Structure 1
Amino acid sequence: MNNTDIGPAWAKEIESWRVAMNAMRLSPQTIELRTYHLRRLAGANLAATPWRVTRSELLEWTGQHDWRRETARAVRSSFRRFWAWGVSTGRTTDNVAEVLPMVRPEQPLPRPAAPSTVVKAMRAVDSRVGLMVRLANELGMRRGEVAQVHPENDMVQESGGWALVVHGKGSRTRILPLPDDIAALLRTAPAGYLFPSPIGGHLSPHWVGTLVSRALSDGTTMHQLRHLCATEVHQQTHDLRLVQTLLGHASLATTQRYVAVDDDKMREALAARSRRWHM
């Protein structure tokens, strides 16, 4: 759904909010997700403008959807932030999204992809999708991070070899050491984004995830490659801090101030695992 599918008042306010979120320097993925949630709501035609939606209407609309917990949490967050922005900018005096109840997070469970599924996919896919699979499986990268890879701008040379600057959630970056053969592929790639879009820029994270999931088949998702990477690297190193740094979890923003991660150990673990996958 795009802005041409919704009323002009909604489209105007959503675009203004997009500009405001960009001024906050939120990541493109966060901005796209939050505006997507608002466009979904706008398409329900509850009111001509978001500022006329009532609390009961908003609560009823969200309650009609059988979302997973994490989706419901994300939608609630988008709505609360949107209406809070509306209050702070004088567009409305009532944050109607305050009526939405808190949604408890799901108990996280590791869901690693089956190694046999990954092997089968790598034998069948073309080189482009195969590289997407490798970045997710061997480096633990998210689909949005894979989509944004720009070798010219993101590759750096360290004492132990080439590394990749990964653009993660919340505009946070981390540096991952690259296995030699992946580094060679990235260094010889055409200029620009590694996975360019036909309409300019890079492929959307959603499409990258779709391509990889199709290659994996049997219901396995791209994110499960990230789980597999985390599981196997932890089994190999028994170093949970290393795995947390590798995955770029937000909670490490504080932890990193106190605990140093052995970059050479991470490089060794990723290179050894990459060699094992390609023996």
Structure 2
Amino acid sequence: MTTAGSSATATAEPLSAEFATLVEDYARHLRLQRELSVHTVRAYTGDVTGLLRHLQRLGLTSLDAVTIRALRSWLAREQTRGQARSTLQRRSAAVRVFFTWAQTSGRVATNPAAGLRSPRKERSLPPHLGQTEAAAMLDAARPGPDPEPDPRASGPGAADRPATPHDPAVVLRDLALLEVLYATGVRVAELCGLDLDDVDTERRLVRVIGKGDKERSVPVGLPALRAVERYLADGRPALAVPTSGPAVFLGERGRRMDPRVVRRVVHAALGRVEGAPDLGPHGLRHAMATHLLEGGADLRSVQEMLGHASLATTQIYTHVTDERLREAFARAHPRA
């Protein structure tokens, strides 16, 4: 089985001792000096490993023998294997970063990847969740004023029995997480990482730790706060176990909620709305950004709320319709 980000196959030849040592040293650099996540390190080293295997097949045994032509031949091979433009762009970037490190650390005299270019990434908008559909999703997830207690929640062995999707505590939890995802646009990992003291009900903020361990505070609307408060009062205590810790959102067995469970919850919630696209948590993040921009929010504010390092990344989430463009033209242009 291939690792994430690697272009190698399961039967690929092993790396030479020199190349294997290079990959180990590079992975150590990414972990300890750049402090990248395990997933990112795996993706970067997987791409580099795929390249080094290709170089071996070309008969190259050291980095000093590598030319830009050899690097381009690897990208061309990847393209013939059907890799998407976005994948080719990421792999060429990974190679440039690798050779920059190799040159800086004295492992190669010149950087053959300095002039390496890759196909422009196609930026296609994901399926769009409308405001009406988002409201319908939340309405469908909302419990009645007094959820009926589940008879299985009491009696012998109740403490060891996992909750079910129909348990009142789970219903309250699912509504709260849907409201928070749509209200804040946080990533699913950021949602699952929320602790109790990260929710500031007085200032209507949640504090999250995003990519690169960067902390940010995101405003939350009243409907989401009310859903969270109700879940914390009436739902979480029924899910909590002595080892739950400070996690806000708990799984059916009382542990911190798994991102895979959150994805199932979002898919199920949207599945109850006729005509709604089949999206995961990232679809709610896109919807939050789009609906803010449709309401008149400026792009910089949305960038800050989403935790994007680059404004260009935020622009991918915008969904400006032809009708809105025509309206803006009619309002602003003197010759409209």
Q: TM-score range by the shorter chain?
A: 0.5 to 0.7
Q: Name the SS of the counterpart of 2:56 in structure 1.
A: coil
Structure 2 CA distance for partners of 1:222 and 1:160, relative to 1, 3 Å? closer
The aligned counterpart of 1:21 is: 30
What is the 5 A alignment of 1:44-63?
44-47=53-56, 51=63, 54-63=67-76
Q: TM-score, normalised on structure 1?
A: 0.63
Partner Cα separation in structure 2 for residue 90 and residue 233 of structure 1: 49
Match of 2:198 among 136, 152, 155: 155
> Which residue is 1:182 aligned to?
228
How far has the Cα of 1:134 moved from its partner? 4.8
- The corresponding residue for 1:31 is 41
Counterpart AA for 2:29 = A
- Match of 1:62, SS? helix
Report the secondary structure of 2:106's partner residue.
coil
Map residues 168-247 of structure 1 onto 2, 5 A cutoff: 168-178=210-220, 179-180=224-225, 181-182=227-228, 185=231, 188=236, 190-191=244-245, 211=264, 215=268, 220-236=279-295, 238-240=296-298, 241-247=300-306
Counterpart contact for 1:165–1:176, Cα < 8 Å: yes
- Which aligned pairs between 1:74-153 and structure 2 lie closer than 5 A? 74-107=90-123, 109=125, 111-113=127-129, 116=133, 119=137, 126=165, 127=170, 134-146=179-191, 149-151=193-195
SS of 1:174's partner is: strand
Aligned length: 241
How far 1:28 sits from its partner (Å)?
Answer: 5.0
- The unaligned stretches of length 5 or more in structure 2 are 142-163, 272-276, 312-336
Q: Separation in 1 of the partners of 2:85 and 2:137?
A: 31
Identity %: 26
Name the stretch that deviates more: 87-96 or 108-117: 108-117
Shift of 1:223: 2.7
* Cα pair 1:14 1:35 within 8 Å, conserved: yes
Question: Is the CA contact (8 Å cut-off) linking 1:84 and 1:95 kept in structure 2?
Answer: yes
CA distances 1:133-178 after superposition (whole Å, capped 9, x unpaired): 554433212344345x1415x61536424x3322223443211234
Map of 2:318 onto structure 1: none
Residue type of the alignment partner of 1:246: M
1:27 Cα deviation from its structure 2 partner: 4.8
Tell me the TM-score normalised to structure 2 length.
0.54
Contact 1:112 1:225 in 2 (8 A): no
Q: Write the letter of the residue equivalent to 1:91.
A: R
Aligned residue for 1:47, secondary structure, equals: helix
Q: Distance in 2 between matches of 1:41 and 1:209?
A: 36
Q: Which has the higher contact order (CA 8 A, sep 6+)?
A: 1
Q: CA deviation at 1:113?
A: 2.9
**Contact map agreement 2:198 2:208 (CA 8 A) in 1:** no
Offset, 1:244: 2.7
Question: C-alpha offsets along residues 43-96 of structure 1, whole Å, 9 cap, x if unaligned?
Answer: x55428673655333312222324444333222211100111111112222433
Contact 2:194 2:208 in 1 (8 A): no
Aligned CA distance change for structure 1 residues 72 and 177 (closer, same or farther; 3 Å): same
Tell me the residue number matched to 1:250.
309
* 1-structure distance, mates of 2:112, 2:310: 30
Unaligned runs of 5+ in 1: 253-279
Higher helix share: 1
Given that 1:87 and 1:95 are in contact with CA atoms closer than 8 Å, whether structure 2 keeps it comes out as yes
